[in-house]
Structure 1
Amino acid sequence: MSALRSVVVGTGSSLPARVVTNADLAERVDTSDDWIVQRTGIRQRHLADDGETTSVLGTRAARAALDDAGLAPEDIDLVICATSTPDHTFPSTATQIQAGLGMHRGAAFDLQAVCAGFVFAVTTADKFLVTGAARRALVVGAETFSRIVDWEDRTTCVLFGDGAGAIVLEARDGEAGSAGRGVLASSLRSDGRHRDKLYVDGGPGSTGTTGHLRMEGKEVFRFAVGSVADVIADAFARSGTTAEDLDWFVPHQANRRIIEASADKLGIPREKIVLTVDRHGNTSAASIPLALDVARKDGRIREGDLVMIEAIGGGFAWGAALIRW
């Protein structure tokens, strides 16, 4: 029995050239390399220079994913960009990526679920593909969080970095069930009552300003470890798989302690975790596609592997998806 599935056929990424270490930050705010590493696992991050906007990084990642897939921009009929740091209030960053690639067809739009944005975007693209509304989709996670952090707040400014990652999804007829390639299942949740735990204190419809990121770190940690289990368990149940079947766990790269605590709670061995938070920091919606590209390019993720992506972001919004590579 066959089924139409959204299969990953290419990955790509883009990071700003400027690398900022913990030692560099210690010259700017009251912090230290030991303090940051012990609490987060982060050792460095990439920060965008002037002119490196979210769409610039996203276009580079998208082009790399297309090259990896052996496709041209005209082969794509859907672009979804997950971002919380768009170039403009409007038009969408996705349309600027579309224009940057030289595309003149299809649809392009942004999706905003903060750090969970890429999981939400993959889930959305999958619905377009399996229903026949599109054949190939570019799913991009791109962020320039350095532009919204408060550089006087040592508890948050050390956490974030800039970057972009992308995947190409293609609708293909394949084997039904959990053995078939493609997006097998996803589970999404949100709860707006938790706004004050992680938010930006500005916006065009409220203050008329961009604002800065604000976070209650301990509350976010507690909620993240406690909440991700339900969407992961749901995705396993929907796909008929278990943690024992998993080859790779690719979570949002926010904090090493959160990642390891979540994996331990779910019975996922730590050797199956893909970690890039040490070198990228928290790149919000870009963190999962950046990690996917790293793990595929270094040979860890191979065709046929079962991969779990998972994230939680401000709002709160959280989700998980299982992909047979």
Structure 2
Amino acid sequence: MTTTDTSATVLDVAGYLPEKRVPAAYFAQYAQDDDLVDNVMFRAPAFRHHAADDETSADMMLSAARVLTERHGEDYFDEVDVVLTHSQLPEVPVRGCGGEVAHRLGLRPTTVLDVHNGGCAAFIHMIDLAGALLRANGGRRALLGLAQNSASQVFTQEQVRGKPQASIPGDGAAVAVVTIDDDRGSPVLGLTCHSYGQYSGDMTGVSDPQRKYWEAGPGQIHIGFTEAKITKVLARGNRMVPEAAIEVADAIGIAPADLDWFITNQPNRIFLRNWRDALELPESRHADTFDECGNLFAVGIPITLDTAVTDGRIHDGDVVMTAAFAHAGDFAGAAALRWGGRG
């Protein structure tokens, strides 16, 4: 269901990229003869960033959070009642890092929730959850923390780094603060989320020899891609993201072609091109960070939003449509903001 009465407002957003900047040549030296090497899904970006060996999801979220306290003051998180975190690769399988993030920031929230299933659409999902939790519990502010930390840990493994998929992901983190009924920041004009559980089994972890991810063994876990799976994901992604964005645009009474900005997740250049074509938008209004950062998964939308605001492309009053799909297509969402400055 699409809602245009969210009362949620994004006060500000900040991103963080690890110091290590890795060129495409790093992966080219390990490239293997693979059936998928020429597939459009795996055309490499020029660069991506890799987290340091000892840099955790929480570390990266804290680095992004420091940008906000440096910008607004050390008391910026004092009114946070809800902490939501999403980590692409939780360091401990049975818990996320929300409690650690809250503790290291000195927060005492009433609700801490680790949101694992939103995938590349997690930022939109978390805005939806934050607004609902704040309205239900009378909270004041929610802190959203997102980290993509699998590029350096999964895709540089000896058995994985030569595969076409290895050069696409990059690491990074972002945080945002969401509130309700506040005249500062950027109001959420409309939002929709859709779950497609019938596709959830199409994203699989594989290794050679095959094993469960928690079992010891010589095979290194990575994402299982085949030509048939790629065809399905391309078809779903090409459809889901524009559908969600157009659904929200229609609900708020703005023609898709009249949107000031379109920001999506960024799996590859083919999706980026097809999505903006579907909305009849020029490339100049579809911001991305793909060539510098690669596929940032859930971090792609907030870090691109932060980048486009920081470099002066997005102005106060601009309507920014965000949209994404997750995994092999089991989740999709879109949210439109009217940018109102850094509150």
Q: Same fold per TM (> 0.5)?
A: yes
Residue 164 of structure 1 is aligned with which of 146, 170, 173?
173
Name the residue aligned to 2:103. Answer: 99
What TM-score, normalized to structure 2? 0.82
> Deviation digits for residues 46-79 of structure 1, max 9, x if unmatched?
1111111111111211232344344433221111
Structure 1 Cα separation of the partners of residues 333 and 6 of structure 2: 22
Q: Is the 8 A contact 2:20 2:51 kept in 1?
A: yes
DSSP-derived class of the 1:118 partner: helix
User: Where does the alignment leave 5 or more consecutive residues of structure 2 unmatched?
Assistant: none
Distance 2:77 2:313 in 1: 28
2:222 matched to 1:212?
yes
Match of 1:85 in 2: 89
Instruction: Give how far 1:277 is off.
Output: 0.7
Q: CA deviation at 1:263?
A: 1.0
Residue 322 of structure 1 pairs with residue 331 of structure 2? no
Measured in 2, the distance between the counterparts of 1:168 and 1:254 equals 25
Alpha-carbon distance in structure 2 between the residues aligned to 1:201 and 1:220 = 17
Equivalent in 192, 195, 199 of residue 197 of structure 2: 192
| Partner Cα separation in structure 1 for residue 170 and residue 312 of structure 2 | 25
Aligned-residue offset at 1:309: 0.8
**Inter-partner Cα distance in structure 2 for 1:137 and 1:25:** 39
**CA 1:173 to 1:13, structure 2 compared with 1: closer, same or farther past 3 Å?**
closer
Task: Give the aligned CA root-mean-square deviation in angstroms.
Answer: 2.7
Deviations 1:73-106 (CA, angstroms, capped at 9, x unpaired)? 3221111112231122243212121122121333
Identity of aligned residues (%): 26
- Superposed CA deviations along residues 268-312 of structure 1, whole A, max 9, x for unmatched, are 222101110111011111111111111111111222211111111
Partner Cα distance (2:182, 2:137) in 1? 11
SS in 1 for 2:181: strand
Aligned pair in 2 of structure 1 residues 132, 104: CA closer, same or farther (>3 Å)?
Answer: closer
**Structure 2 equivalent of residue 6 of structure 1:** 8
Which of structure 1's runs of 4+ aligned residues deviate more than 6 A?
34-38
Query: How many residues align structurally?
Result: 314
Cα distance per residue 1:96-146 (max 9 Å; x no partner): 211221213332211122111112112211223455632111112211112
Matched, 1:227 2:240: yes
Residues 45, 103 of structure 1: alpha-carbon distance in 2 compared, 3 angstrom cutoff? same
For structure 1, which segment, 98-107 or 48-57, has the greater mean C-alpha deviation from structure 2 after superposition? 98-107
Q: Is the 8 A contact 1:37 1:43 kept in 2?
A: no
Q: d(CA) in 2 for partners of 1:131 and 1:83? A: 25
Q: Are the counterparts in 2 of residues 142 and 163 from structure 1 also a CA contact under 8 Å?
A: yes
Question: Taking structure 1 as reference, are residues 90 and 157 closer, same or farther at Cα in structure 2, changes over 3 Å only?
Answer: same
Q: Distance in 1 between matches of 2:97 and 2:206?
A: 21
**Structure 1 residue 272 corresponds to structure 2 residue 285:** yes
Q: Which runs of 5+ in 1 are unaligned?
A: none
Q: 1:235 to 1:40 in 2, by over 3 A?
A: farther
Aligned position for 1:122: 127
Equivalent pair of 2:42/2:164 in contact (CA under 8 Å): no
Instruction: Name whichever structure is richer in helix by fraction.
Output: 1
Distance in 1 of aligned mates of 2:296 and 2:67: 18
Give the TM-score normalised by the residue count of structure 1.
Answer: 0.87
* Counterpart amino acid of residue 118 in structure 1: F
Q: Say whether 1:26 aligns with 2:40.
A: no
3-state SS in 2 of match to 1:77: strand
- Aligned 8 A contact 1:36 1:42 in 2: no
Report the AA paired with residue 124 of structure 1: L
Give the superposition deviation at 1:169.
Answer: 1.6
Give the whole-Å Cα distance in 2 for the aligned partners of 1:160 and 1:89: 21
Closer, same or farther in 2 for the Cα pair 1:107/1:12, shift >3 Å? same
